[in-house]
A = this chain, B = another copy of it.
């Protein structure tokens, strides 16, 4: 039975009080050596059933809780992973974080996070350093940014690191959704509707995902010998999508637009609506991410779904392999899925 404290009582944190019980305390109560208690607690050696019972009773009675610091000190293993996350509420990174945390927890690992405002060399380095001070056993860098590759190059090699969505130049294993192929699918879907070309609202130039999606779009057009219109660049935000939309409104032959993410696609839709351009009647629009809102945009948005839970799981798996000393491949891709909705629907 845990002691239930009212707020008033809880304030006594400053008083030292009787410190947390240790192995020795349990041992004393159970009439065994501290080592036997350790064996019971960790199931790390043979203990007679009745002895185990006595020990367990004492553990329970005293509310014994193993001291992680002491254990870490002697074993050199903390049971904690670090995640360097982007300080961002973007759907993707947040979902990836949860995917990783999930997989880690299932495997008995704790997760420490450290967010960075802008993924530059120093900030990622600082974040890694700060996590190392927390004695993490491995680090995941959620780093969809081009500078992240360089930053990762500066990370000490004596701790396992894997990156999510990082650059191919990074000296660590990288896992990501196949952005290139997702963009290719979206573009081909739009072309299959009979358009001569597809316009593109790209993400920030220094984001790798933005680059990959742009490349997927561009090369699909090139492969077919189609004209490649100038990209309009946004910053992922709906506002920038809206502005891109205003830019596109005047273009001749505007029939199909592929937006590098759903939020910008939303801005596009808004700009088109204001300009009296109807989607899908006048223009077809596709996005990327499949945020939960996308199915309820006006009109519902055709987009490319990324399975972030799977990404998280694979990422953790990779890190686990690395921590075990395995040599994993450099690059791992999770397939993307095209979700067709009304925004590219029949006219």
* A193 interface hit (Cβ, 8 Å): no
Chain B residue nearest in CB terms to A83: B113
Given contacts A73-B67, A296-B239, A171 and B5 within 8 Å (CB-CB): yes
Known: A80-B112, A101-B114, A242-B296. 8 other contacts (CB 8 A): A5-B157, A13-B325, A69-B73, A101-B113, A110-B131, A238-B295, A266-B297, A270-B300
Q: Are B2 and A171 in contact (CB under 8 A)?
A: no
Q: Are A69 and B66 in contact (CB under 8 A)?
A: no
| Best-surrounded residue of A10, A154, A173, A239 (most CB of chain B within 10 A) | A10
* A237 interface hit (Cβ, 8 Å): yes
Q: How far is the CA of A110 from the CA of B94 in the complex (A)?
A: 18
* A267 interface hit (Cβ, 8 Å): yes
Q: Are A94 and B105 in contact (CB under 8 A)?
A: no
Q: How far is the CA of A270 from the CA of B15 in the complex (A)?
A: 57
Given contacts A9-B157, A154-B2, A158-B3, A292 and B69 within 8 Å (CB-CB): no
Q: Which residues of B contact A130 (CB under 8 A)?
A: 105, 110
Q: Are B114 and A113 in contact (CB under 8 A)?
A: no
Q: Which residues of B contact A110 (CB under 8 A)?
A: 112, 114, 130-131, 133-134
Which of B79, B91, B135, B292 interacts with A68 by CB under 8 Å? B135
| A103-129 contact mask (Cβ, 8 Å, vs B): 1 or 0 | 001000011111100000000000000
* A95 interface hit (Cβ, 8 Å): yes
Which residues of A approach B to under 8 Å, CB–CB? Answer: 2-15, 17, 19, 63, 65-70, 72-73, 76, 78-80, 87-89, 91, 94-95, 98, 101-102, 105, 110-115, 130-135, 153-161, 171-173, 237-239, 241-242, 263, 266-267, 269-270, 273, 292-293, 295-298, 300, 322-327, 330
Q: Which residues of B contact A3 (CB under 8 A)?
A: 156-158
Q: How far is the CA of A131 from the CA of B269 in the complex (A)?
A: 44
Q: Are B160 and A13 in contact (CB under 8 A)?
A: yes
Given contacts A110-B112, A269-B298, A293-B266, A326 and B238 within 8 Å (CB-CB): no
Q: How far is the CA of A241 from the CA of B155 in the complex (A)?
A: 46
Q: Which residues of B contact A131 (CB under 8 A)?
A: 110
Q: Which residues of B contact A11 (CB under 8 A)?
A: 322, 325-327
Given contacts A171-B6, A298-B298, A98 and B91 within 8 Å (CB-CB): no
Chain B residue nearest in CB terms to A267: B296
Q: How far is the CA of A98 from the CA of B115 in the complex (A)?
A: 8
Which of B6, B67, B292, B325 interacts with A12 by CB under 8 Å? B325
Q: Are A273 and B292 in contact (CB under 8 A)?
A: no
Q: How far is the CA of A3 from the CA of B87 in the complex (A)?
A: 28
Q: Which residues of B contact A156 (CB under 8 A)?
A: 2-3, 5, 63
Which of B68, B87, B112, B296 interacts with A98 by CB under 8 Å? B87
Q: How far is the CA of A81 from the CA of B67 in the complex (A)?
A: 16
Q: How far is the CA of A66 from the CA of B297 in the complex (A)?
A: 52
Kindly list the 9 A-B residue pairs having the minimum CB-CB distance in the complex, ordered from nearest: A5-B157, A14-B325, A69-B72, A238-B296, A11-B327, A69-B73, A298-B298, A270-B296, A2-B156
